[in-house]
Structure formats: structure tokens, C-alpha cells
Amino acid sequence: MTEPVTTGRLSTSARDGRSGYAPPMCRNIRTLHNFEPPATTEEVQAAALQYVRKVSGSAKPSLANQPAFDAAVEEVATATQRLLSTLVTQAAPRDRAVEAAKARERAAQRYGSA
């Protein structure tokens, strides 16, 4: 079998359902680095939950899998918090209100204003 050929965001094998490269990261996971005020514990926890849901393919795990699911969320949250605390940047911190306004503008252009 030939190796997947990457074209754009997805390999040809990923688009047609065969194994290959995974699709892009879940759009619900937001950038947490370099914001003023810094990301809260709740935001880090929510991002970790979204990541584990995406990787596991399950929004609500079975009772048998709940302990493993919860442990994974905690481990990812801890690693994320550690990453955020050690990253450095020369860029000025982004303002949450300004970024939210930009996101609303993009959504209005994409979906039409309500």
C-alpha cells in the first residue's frame, strides 16, 4: 500500500476514510496562550475536556470508562497548565474582548448577521 499523500489539510486517505493523517484540531479548543488576563483554570480544564473527548471519540464515556476519562482530563489539564506557564513570547498579550469581537465579525460574515 502507498503512503498517504498530504494535500492541503487532509491526506487523500483521510478524506476517503482510510487510515492516514488525522483531521485538523477540534475547532472548539481555543488558544489559551498570551492573553490578558491569563487563561483561567476553568478554561484550561474545558480545553482538556474537549481534547480528551476528541481523542476518545466520546462526549460522555460509559461508567466503565469514566475513571480513565477523568484521569486523562486531569493529566491533560496539568500538562497544559505547565506548558502555558513555561511558554515565552515577545508579542504583546492579546485582549480577550478584542479577540471576541473579531470572532463575532468572522461569524457574521460566514453565517450572515441575525
pTM: 0.67
52 lies in the same domain as 81: yes
What one-character DSSP code corresponds to residue 8? Answer: T
39 lies in the same domain as 20: no
Residue 58 lies in a domain: yes
φ, ψ of residue 33 in degrees (nearest 5): -85, 145
**What's the number of domains the chain is made of?**
2
Query: What is the rounded distance in angstroms from the CA atom of residue 56 to the CA atom of residue 71?
Result: 13
Query: What is the rounded distance in angstroms from the CA atom of residue 81 to the CA atom of residue 30?
Result: 14
Q: What is the pLDDT of residues 49-105, one digit of tens each?
A: 999 999 999 999 999 999 999 999 999 999 999 999 999 999 999 998 898 899 899
Domain with 7, as residue range(s), is: 1-26
42 lies in the same domain as 10: no
What one-character DSSP code corresponds to residue 22? Answer: P
